Amino acid sequence: MSNTPANSSLPLPPFVGWDTFPFEGDLKVKSLDASVAVEPTRSGEDSSDCSACAATDDKYVWVNERWRVRTMDRPTGLPMVLLLEPRSHLDLGDLSNLLAAELGVMTVRIERAIRSLDNIARVHVNRWGDGGAHLHVWFMARPYGQLQLRGSFLSMWDEILPPIDEVKWREDLSHIAAWLEDFGGTAIAQPPKIVWTAPDRFDT
């Protein structure tokens, strides 16, 4: 973007008129900041300061000897959001041939696991990498019939929509964990416990 002056006025792109765009009303493109000479380090560049490396297996949905699958701390707006991470402190370009091949297999396997849930139309797979240095690949499920959520704005809708039901979310996580465990590894996520209270009396 070096050919774009930092203080120039940029036009609105055509996608602001798409049905899938989450916002309406008067919009304005932000001024583009000037380029920096040195970019800041990402979170967890050093493995000693990496939250993914420090996290124990009980914080994950499913694990094996080389990969781990996690989710958010609580439900979000989409029916399912998962992240795939290597155990080793690696970014995408650092993967060995073995891990690179396994990444492809794991990507397909997780996509199928999410689509095995009820009412899932598509699973979007994304990798950005500007925030955290430890490789994390996102899997975001679009609910069936929600056509306005199609396309590249799905991650925005996830933060806009109200959180889904937590009990259903935990049930689905345990289903995915068990689905993945069928191919190896260990399912960590378990279904929510049933809270049952005995009646005061039984009618006869």
Q: Give pLDDT < 50 ranges for the chain.
A: 1
pTM (2 decimals)? 0.88
Residues 61, 82: contact at Cβ < 8 Å?
Answer: yes
Tell me what pLDDT residue 204 has.
Answer: 63
Q: How do residues 142-168 score in pLDDT, each as one tens digit?
A: 999 999 999 999 999 999 999 999 999
Which pLDDT value is given to residue 8? 59
pLDDT for res 21: 86
Q: Which domains does the chain have, with CATH numbers?
A: 47-187 (3.30.428.10)
User: Which ranges of the chain does DSSP label H, i.e. alpha helix?
Assistant: 51-54, 97-115, 154-160, 166-181
Q: Which amino acid is at 103?
A: L
Residue 125 near residue 137, CB atoms below 8 Å: yes
